[in-house]
Chains A and B, each alone.
Chain A
Amino acid sequence: MDKRLSMLKEIQALEFFAIELNLFLDTHPGDRAALRDFYAIREKLFAAVKRYEEMYGPLTVFGNAPAQCPWPWIEDPWPWEIEYK
């Protein structure tokens, strides 16, 4: 669970960075430095999500998780059930 949690926290940190830039770009759509940062972070985020989903199952139904039987989407823990350390 420690490895899984540290990977999840990395995704949360990267995605937060992307959300913050997303909002900034909504009101500064021509800011080249912010655009460069956004696309760089997005690439790191995609890579981190892909690594996580290959090991622990889907974060989104349409994600990169490998095809599996039974349907892995409904496996716990759900976000409100995770015990962070």
Chain B
Amino acid sequence: MWIYEKKLEYPVRVYRNDIGMARFLMAQYGGPDSELSAAVRYLTQRYTMPTNKAKGLLTDIGTEEMAHWEIVATMIYKLVKGVPAKQLREAGLGAHFAEHDRAVYPADAAGVPWTAAYIQATGDPIADLHEDMAAEQKARTTYEHLIQLTDDPGVKDTLRFLRQREVVHFQRFGEALNDIQALMDSKKHF
């Protein structure tokens, strides 16, 4: 089970409305390498992991990804808060407004709804952990693109925190992978 903590993992400061940036941030909210994909990917893969280290790590990183999903949603929510429909339309969010108003709907930056096809769970821990490491790198580079797309110091600060977490998760997944490979090598008898 999970217990909700009524707080963000990291503060979200937004200094002014920026509809375009809200749209770009959808990449990390409902896109292929989004925080939602990360959470569902890890929390799905953990059941078929062979070691307790990997089961623990996927549970804990999957849980942290849900907190990051909430942080990205908060940035989007604040960036479009109070913006009139006409301005949303002019900034390219007219289609979003027609279907979702200002709701933070899980779709990517182009409006394509989130799908489980973005993730994989093969039942093979080596394959799954390699996917996870690749996913962290893809999310890291997406955050670097997003940081370049805004001048808002508050948004930049939160995006830098999220980028750094991808680096740490990549490192921990690598350690879990090495541990599983060592275990499999030790089980080989010739």
Contacts and interface: CB of A to CB of B under 8 A. Distances in A.
Contacts of A9: 11
B10 A16 contact: yes
A60 interface: yes
Nearest to B76: A80
Given A80-B70, A80-B78, A84-B12, A27 B176 contact: yes
A20 B5 CA distance: 17
Interface residues of B, number: 29
B7 A79 contact: yes
B64 interface: yes
Chain B's interface: helix, strand, loop or mixed, by majority? helix
B70 A19 contact: no
Interface residues of A, number: 27
A27 B179 contact: yes
Contact of A26 (B10, B11, B56, B154): B56
Dominant secondary structure of chain A at its interface with chain B: helix
B6 interface: yes
Contact of B7 (A11, A19, A73): A11
Interface of B: 3-13, 53, 56-57, 60-61, 64, 70, 73-74, 77-78, 154, 168-169, 172, 175-176, 179
Interface of A: 8-9, 11-12, 15-16, 19-20, 22-24, 26-29, 58-62, 73, 78-80, 82, 84-85
